[in-house]
Structure 1
Amino acid sequence: MTRPPIDLRPLRARRCRAAAVQAACVAVSVFMGLPIVLIGLAVSPDTLGSFVGAVGTVPALGNSVLVGLYTVALSLVVGAPAGYALARHAFRGRDAYQVFLLLARALPIVVLSVPLATMFLRLGGYDTVFAVTLLHTTLALPTTVLITASIFVAVPPDYEEAARVFGCTRFEAARRVVVPLALPGLAASSIFTFVLSWNEVLGAAVLTIGHRTLPAQVLGSLAEAPQAYRFAGGFALILPALLFILVMRRYLVNMWGTTLR
Structure 2
Amino acid sequence: MTDATGSTAATANTAATSAQRRALPPVDHTPLRRRRMRAAWVQFACILISLFMALPIVLVGLSALSSRAALAEFPKSLLPSELSTETLQAFLQATGTFPAFGNSLLVGLYTVFWSLVVGAPAGYALARYAFRGKEPYQVFILLVRALPIVVLSVPLATMFLQFGVYDTVFAVTLVHTVLALPTTVLITASIFVSVPHDVEEAAQIFGCTRWQAARKVVLPLALPGLAASSIFTFVLSWNEILGATVVTLGHRTLPAQVLTSLAEASQAYRFAGGFALILPALLFIFVMRRYLVNMWGTTLR
Superposition TM-score, scaled by structure 2 size: 0.80
Counterpart Cα distance in 2 of 1:175 and 1:15: 44
Structure 1 stretches lacking a partner, 5+ long: none
Q: Map of 1:47-62 to 2, 5 A cutoff?
A: 47-62=87-102
1:173-220 C-alpha deviation (Å, 9 max, x unpaired) = 212322233234323322331221111111111111111000000111
- The answer to whether 1:28 aligns with 2:49 is yes
Counterpart in the other structure of 1:110: 150
% same residue: 78
Indicate yes or no: 2:168 matched with 1:128.
yes
- The match for 1:3 is 24
CA distance in 1, matches of 2:239, 2:198: 40
The AA in structure 2 aligned to 1:39 is V
Report if aligned partners of 2:231, 2:285 keep a CA contact under 8 Å in 1. no
Does the Cα contact within 8 Å between 1:195 and 1:240 map onto a contact in 2? no
Output the CA distance in 1 between the equivalents of 2:142 and 2:44.
Answer: 32
Answer with 71-80 or 182-191: which moved more: 182-191
SS in 2 for 1:238: helix
Which is worse superposed, 128-137 or 172-181? 172-181
**1:69-118 Cα distance to aligned partner (Å, 9 max, x none):** 21112111110100111111122332222222222222221222122122
Once residues 9 and 260 of structure 1 are traced to their aligned partners in structure 2, the CA distance between those partners, rounded to angstroms, is 34
In structure 2, the residue matched to 1:202 is 242
Residue 74 of structure 1 is matched in structure 2 by 114
Q: 1:12 aligns to what? A: 33
Equivalent in the alignment of 2:285? 245
TM-score (norm 1): 0.91
Query: How much is the aligned-residue C-alpha RMSD, in angstroms?
Result: 1.9
Count, aligned residues: 261
SS in 2 for 1:92: coil
Alpha-carbon shift at residue 257 of structure 1 (Å)? 4.1
Q: Which moved more, 1:1-10 or 1:57-66?
A: 1-10
Q: Secondary structure at the match of 1:212?
A: coil
1:167-206 paired onto structure 2 within 5 Å: 167-206=207-246
**Residue 144 of structure 1: aligned partner:** 184
Q: Unmatched 5+ residue regions in structure 2?
A: 1-19, 66-84
Deviation larger for 162-171 or 68-77? 162-171
Contact 2:224/2:292 (<8 A) preserved: no
SS at match of 1:99: helix
**What is the rounded CA distance, in whole Å, between the counterparts of 1:183 and 1:32 in structure 2?**
27
Deviation for aligned residue 1:66: 1.4
The reply to whether residue 217 of structure 1 matches residue 257 of structure 2 is yes
Given candidates 104, 117, 123, the residue that maps to 1:83 is 123
Matches within 5 A, 1:144-163: 144-163=184-203
Report the secondary structure of 2:243's partner residue: helix
**Contact kept in structure 1, 2:234 and 2:281, CA below 8 Å:** no
Q: State the 1:259 CA deviation.
A: 4.4
Q: CA deviation at 1:8?
A: 3.5
Q: Are residues 96 and 257 of structure 1, via their aligned partners in 2, closer, same or farther at CA, if it must alter by over 3 Å? A: farther
- The superposition leaves residues 29-71 of structure 1 with CA deviations (integer Å, 9 ceiling, x where unpaired) of 1111111111111123111111111111111111111111211
Structure-2 change in CA distance of 1:207 and 1:58 (3 Å): same
Poorly superposed stretches of 4+, deviation over 3 Å: 5-9, 256-261
Partner Cα distance (2:213, 2:53) in 1: 43
